[in-house]
């Protein structure tokens, strides 16, 4: 694939994210799996797509100095400029003259000579004059919003929860590279064996402190290894691995995973059961239930029974006090996974958070009675928003005094995580900057009567 074709493909992907609300990680995976991209170009495509989305507001701030605000740009033209500016400012392997040449060629093919001339003029002016300094923005919140490309309302909200410095660290982490992590299937291979195989294949790896099954991949495309395609490992963020670890599952238990798709935590729980016991896994969408079934099959796990159901209606499926352990990985805003899904931060609204927190509380109220006395329930989300996390848990406990926070949860966390500043009386808030994981909340409740 030529440089022109690669950049043209990147423009297409960015248009689908911008106009069709596509998910960047799914579009990139689909494009890489199409085998139209040369292996040596896979990293560059991923870098430019993620980077351009991650820094959209910053790049638009730069472009304001070079594009007349009265001029209406077609979506593809603005995206072409953003993509080109991202390469000129943040990448050092491609010379500016090559970036500008390819942008002009794309503008000619997609538009006409006039647009090509406009694109050429904007990029050459920026190359000649340099980009404006964000230090001139007097307001701290607005400056942080521009420098890290987050909506101002979101930054104001996080500052109200955690203060300016923690918010700044979180925003800066959200525009950094995300390392992938994997979990070994311990019934098929040990972590040491997997690390040895991967290192011999040229991967750079580290063991995770979150789970004895976890491995961090510093370098290498794990999706194209035999270990992945043959079901010896699965891709999962370290923060998600901690959930099954803290659920304290032992073989023979009956476990409910109430909001299960795509099945990463359900399969981890099944691995902990060592194919002895049962995991009832539910999701509201039938196509996502198929994902759970496929994932369990890929990993040769036999104890997962996956079905379609709204978590708020599971009392119609199971009697009260049926389960030894329950996991509610609740539907949430996803504001903890911005680094891997950067478009999330532009799409969410405060009204979404309020609606979701109401659903989360409803699910917790509906599912909790299914837990046995002295059983354990983990409530988790992949967001850093306090209204979806601590506030939901606090309100549930106020309404249901027969459930309490399990104090052993805090002492059973891995030692380094016990020292995390995200620990509160209501649970653990993992910030993305603390251990370079997804932002994640979890707590463990115990039923007393």
With 0-12 / 13-18 / 19 or more C-beta atoms within 10 angstroms meaning exposed / middle / buried, residue 449 is exposed
Cβ–Cβ < 8 Å for 405, 443: yes
Give bridge partners of residue 447 from the DSSP assignment: 403
Cβ–Cβ < 8 Å for 253, 325: yes
With 0-12 / 13-18 / 19 or more C-beta atoms within 10 angstroms meaning exposed / middle / buried, residue 197 is middle
> How many Å apart are CA 297 and CA 176, to the nearest integer?
34
Q: What are phi and psi of 175, to 5 degrees?
A: -110, 15
> How many Å apart are CA 179 and CA 177, to the nearest integer?
6
Give the helix ranges, DSSP H, for 91-190: 96-110, 113-129, 140-148, 152-162, 164-174
Ligand-binding annotation for 237, yes or no, is: no
Ligand-binding annotation for 324, yes or no, is: no
Ligand-binding annotation for 264, yes or no, is: yes
Ligand-binding annotation for 288, yes or no, is: no
CA 55-60-61 angle, 5° bins? 100
Ligand-binding annotation for 283, yes or no, is: yes
Ligand-binding annotation for 263, yes or no, is: yes
Ligand-binding annotation for 329, yes or no, is: yes
Cβ–Cβ < 8 Å for 49, 28: yes
Distances (CA, A) of 418 to 107, 210, 406, 426: 54, 11, 15, 14
Ligand-binding annotation for 192, yes or no, is: no
- Contact residues for 290 (Cβ-Cβ < 8 A; gap 6+): none
Q: 338: which 2 tokens?
A: 């911005």
With 0-12 / 13-18 / 19 or more C-beta atoms within 10 angstroms meaning exposed / middle / buried, residue 2 is exposed
DSSP helix/strand/coil, 32: helix
- Contact residues for 445 (Cβ-Cβ < 8 A; gap 6+): 368, 376, 377, 378, 379, 393, 397, 403, 404, 405, 406
Which is the catalytic residue, given 11, 344, 382, 413? 382
> How many Å apart are CA 194 and CA 234, to the nearest integer?
12
> How many Å apart are CA 369 and CA 383, to the nearest integer?
25
- The answer to whether 171 is a known catalytic residue is no
Ligand-binding annotation for 260, yes or no, is: yes
Residues with a known catalytic role: 382
Which residues sit in the known binding site for S-adenosyl-L-methionine? 259-265, 283, 310, 329
Please enumerate, by residue number, every residue annotated as part of a binding site: 259-265, 283, 310, 329
């Amino acid at each position: 694939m030529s440089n022109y074709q690669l950049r043209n493909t990147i423009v297409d992907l960015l248009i689908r994210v911008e106009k069709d609300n596509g998910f960047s990680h799914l579009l990139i995976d689909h494009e890489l799996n199409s085998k139209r991209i040369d292996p040596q170009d896979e990293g560059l495509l991923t870098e430019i797509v993620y980077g351009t989305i991650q820094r959209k507001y910053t790049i638009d701030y730069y472009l304001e100095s070079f594009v007349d605000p009265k001029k209406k740009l077609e979506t593809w033209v603005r995206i072409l400029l953003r993509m080109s500016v991202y390469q000129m400012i943040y990448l050092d392997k491609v010379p500016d003259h090559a970036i500008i040449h390819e942008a002009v060629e794309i503008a000619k093919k997609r538009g006409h000579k006039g647009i090509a001339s406009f694109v050429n003029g904007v990029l050459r002016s920026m190359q000649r004059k340099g980009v404006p300094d964000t230090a001139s923005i007097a307001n701290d919140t607005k400056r942080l919003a521009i420098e890290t490309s987050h909506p101002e309302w979101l930054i104001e909200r996080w500052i109200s929860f955690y203060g300016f410095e923690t918010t700044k660290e979180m925003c800066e982490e959200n525009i950094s590279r995300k390392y992938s992590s994997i979990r070994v299937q311990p019934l098929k291979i040990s972590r040491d064996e997997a690390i040895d195989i991967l290192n011999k294949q040229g991967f750079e790896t580290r063991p995770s402190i979150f789970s004895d099954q976890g491995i961090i991949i510093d370098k290498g495309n794990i999706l194209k290894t035999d270990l992945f395609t043959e079901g010896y490992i699965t891709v999962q963020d370290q923060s998600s691995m901690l959930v099954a670890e803290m659920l304290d599952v032992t073989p023979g238990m009956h476990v409910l995973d109430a909001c299960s798709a795509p099945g990463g935590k359900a399969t981890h729980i099944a691995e902990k059961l060592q194919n002895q016991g049962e995991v009832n896994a539910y999701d509201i969408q039938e196509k996502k239930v198929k994902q759970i079934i496929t994932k369990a099959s890929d990993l040769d796990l036999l104890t997962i029974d996956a079905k379609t159901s709204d978590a708020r209606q599971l009392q119609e499926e199971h009697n009260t006090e049926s389960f030894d352990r329950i996991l509610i990985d609740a539907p949430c805003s996803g504001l903890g996974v911005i680094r891997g899904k950067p478009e999330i931060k532009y799409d969410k609204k405060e009204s979404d958070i309020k609606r979701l927190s109401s659903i989360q509380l409803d699910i917790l109220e509906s599912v909790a009675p299914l837990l046995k006395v002295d059983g354990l329930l983990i409530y988790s989300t992949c967001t850093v928003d306090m209204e979806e996390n601590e506030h939901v848990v606090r309100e549930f406990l106020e309404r249901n005094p027969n459930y309490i926070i399990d104090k052993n949860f805090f002492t059973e966390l891995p030692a380094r995580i016990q020292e995390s500043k995200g620990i509160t009386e209501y649970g653990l808030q993992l910030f993305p900057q603390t251990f370079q994981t997804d932002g994640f909340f979890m707590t463990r409740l115990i039923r007393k009567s």
